[in-house]
Amino acid sequence: RSIIAIVPAAGIGSRMGADKPKQYLMLGHQSILAHTLDTLLAHPEITLVVVALHPQDNYFHQLPQSQHPRLTQVAGGGERADSVLAALDYAHTLNPDAWALVHDAARPCVTHDDITQLINAVDIHPQGAILAAPVRDTMKRSDANSHIVHTVDRALLWHALTPQFFPVSVLRQHLSAALAAKVSITDEASAMEWAGVMPGLVCGRIDNIKVTHPDDLQLAALFISQQ
């Protein structure tokens, strides 16, 4: 099995509100994206990393990883799903039989072991699977005025994380069809679900956070320092 990692890194980080896209902010001794790429490039099952960059990206070439022989860049698109699809198109030309391991640039705390767990899970989830974390809090559904309507059964609720792991050709087909149908797609699994596939859930570490708001920087730095 050939595994191509796909890293959407074309966002502008509007919620972070920094002076540059959040994936280029420093976390300890290197940037968020550099941490993410190091973990993926070090995994022996990943043969290639395709990173989707903003067409006007001025920072990527400064990363030490930018010249890595097993790393390629493509131009991303307007939404995360467009960026992933651009990278899938490229991966498909290389090897239509490969599997795509899609991982947010903004999740630098992912561990080698969680990636391995996800890859191995396709033995029991042959259509693909995602890392996810069981919800811990009591969950409420509200009306539009912030009044509780009822309590939702937590046992069946998960936080969807990345990586998400699917065959390149199947994911590319369903993602492009879902985008053409104007379906809201915030992760790869939602495109598969829309096409009637039921991806597997693999319990991952809850410290695999997506750096989104300024507060998340300190947390991510702490998690990385503990690895």
- C-alpha dihedral (109, 88, 175, 128), degrees to nearest 10: -60
Instruction: Give the nearest distance from C-beta 213 to ligand CTP in angstroms.
Output: 8
Question: In sequence order, what DSSP letters do the residues of 24-89 get, joined into one string?
Answer: GSEETTEEHHHHHHHHHHT-TTEEEEEEEE-TT--SGGGSGGGG-TTEEEEE--SSHHHHHHHHHH
The 139-168 contact track toward ligand CTP, x by CB under 6 A, reads: ------------------------------
Among 52, 102, 115, 178, binds ligand CTP (CB under 6 A): 52
- Binding part of the chain for ligand CTP, among 39-47, 71-79, 131-139, 192-200 by CB under 6 A, reads 71-79
Q: How far is the CB of 199 from ligand CTP (least distance, A)?
A: 18
Distance CA(85)–CA(91), nearest Å, equals 10
The window from 10-18, 129-137, 146-154, 199-207 that contacts ligand CTP (CB under 6 A) reads 10-18
Q: Which is nearer to Mg ion, 59 or 197 (CB)?
A: 59
Residue 10 binds ligand CTP (CB under 6 A): yes
- Any residues with CB less than 8 A from the CB of 67 and at least 6 apart, and which? none
Q: How far apart are CA 203 and CA 158, in angstroms?
A: 9
Closest residue by beta carbon to ligand CTP? 11
CA dihedral 79→83→85→87, nearest 10 degrees, is 180
Q: Which of 3, 5, 13, 39 binds ligand CTP (CB under 6 A)?
A: 13
- 135: helix, strand or coil: coil
- Residue 178's Cβ-side half-sphere holds a number of Cα atoms within 13 Å equal to 25
9 touches ligand CTP (CB under 6 A): yes
- Cβ distance to ligand CTP smaller for residue 86 or 98: 86
Shortest distance (Å) from residue 76 CB to ligand CTP: 4
Q: Which residues bind ligand CTP (CB under 6 A)?
A: 8-15, 23, 52, 76-80, 83, 104-106, 210, 212
